[in-house]
Amino acid sequence: MANSRILNTKRLLGAAAIVILCVLVGSAILSFRSSANSEALTVTFIDVGQGDAILVSTEDGHHMLVDGGPRAAGAKLVATLDRLGVTRLDVIVSTHPHEDHIGGLLAVLDFLEVDRVADSAWAHTTATYESYLTKIYDKGIPFFGPRAGDSFGLGNASVRVLWPTEPPASNINDRSLVLEVACGESRVLLTGDISGYVERTLAGEGVLSKIDLMKVAHHGSRSSTTQTFLASTSPDIAVIPVGAGNDYGHPSSQALANLRARDVLVYRTDEHGHVTVTLQSDRRTWSVSIEKPGDDLRAACGSRVFHRKTCQHARRITPAKTIVICDREQALNAGYRPCKVCNP
């Protein structure tokens, strides 16, 4: 059964054999190093243009990279990981084999040590995916094809696979790996490029829970970010990885309207650059920083008031609860109200 998911080429027979072995052994092999000493989880949405690249890091030094953006962004991605002090990845997760998600991973595999690769493991006959699988095989990196119900550890965090299931969906986007990352009570949902069909299926299956941070599916396309999905997850923060001026019209006005209707604080890599969210395990404490702060407004998690950076109330917010907001409209769209002292 696993052979049907891997490219049917002689060059990749070795990689396919690895997938067969690992899928047969099951999710018990998908167990990474764990530690119970640290409590914070940091998620960095790296600006790679039109594509996804998400670094999930635990406070005790474990790292998971979910997707890597397009091939053209490979050098920037590697430089960003180096600046963040990442020298080794516990796991790379490639949610699905489209070039805007796996292209940059070729450069990552050349420059960083990688313990394991978790892949959607569906047949996709492109040169980029062939090069990606061949590089993994040549380097002897263990390769897995997890499915819904599998789980693994990442330091003190845990990762649960919610999707895909068998039999496979009819298109590559809807075969994306969907991951829920948990650190104590805090939850992060990473959605690949799934459509509303998968969102509604997950909601109907009852596998979704309250989410603190959501990666908006498929760059905010109009077929994703459904009201049903948002009602089932109730995210506080949503990040849209998207390229400036892209040809697809991402993010769609419908996706943005659905997020506004739920008072979700929305960040976009095309407008805000790299977006970093740090969540403490108590769910009540989190912070957001952005590469391009714009008006550089401030709010505190747990509050619905935003301030100028220089406001006396802004200066009293602890770093672990500081939310950087780019502009007034962004704050108002998320249901925040202006401070009566600094009147931002």
pLDDT of residue 123: 81
Threshold 0.85, pTM exceeds: yes
Residue 34 predicted with pLDDT over 50: no
Q: What's the pLDDT score for residue 39?
A: 74
The CATH architecture one would assign to domain 293-344 is: 3-Layer(aba) Sandwich (3.40)
Q: SS3 string of the chain?
A: CHHHHCCCCHHHHHHHHHHHHHHHHCHHHCCCCECCCCCCEEEEECCCCCCCCEEEEECCCCEEEECCCCHHHHHHHHHHHHHCCCCEECEEEECCCCHHHHCCHHHHHHHCEECCEEECCCCCCCHHHHHHHHHHHHCCCCEECCCCCCEEEEECEEEEEEECCCCCCCCCHHHCCEEEEEECCEEEEECCCCCHHHHHHHHHHCCCCCCCEEECHHHHCCCCCCHHHHHHHCCCEEEECCCCCCCCCCCCHHHHHHHHHCCCEEEEHHHHCCEEEEECCCCCCEEEEECCCCCCEEEECCCCEEECCCCHHHHCCCHHHEEEECCHHHHHHCCCEECCCCCC
Looking at 78-87, 122-131, 332-341, which range is the least confident one? 122-131
Segments making up each domain of the chain, as ranges: 2-23+36-292, 293-344
Is residue 6 pLDDT above 90, yes or no? no
Average pLDDT, the chain: 90
pLDDT in tens, 156-202: 999 999 999 988 898 999 999 999 999 999 999 999 999 999 999 99
Topology (CATH) of 2-23+36-292: Metallo-beta-lactamase; Chain A (3.60.15)
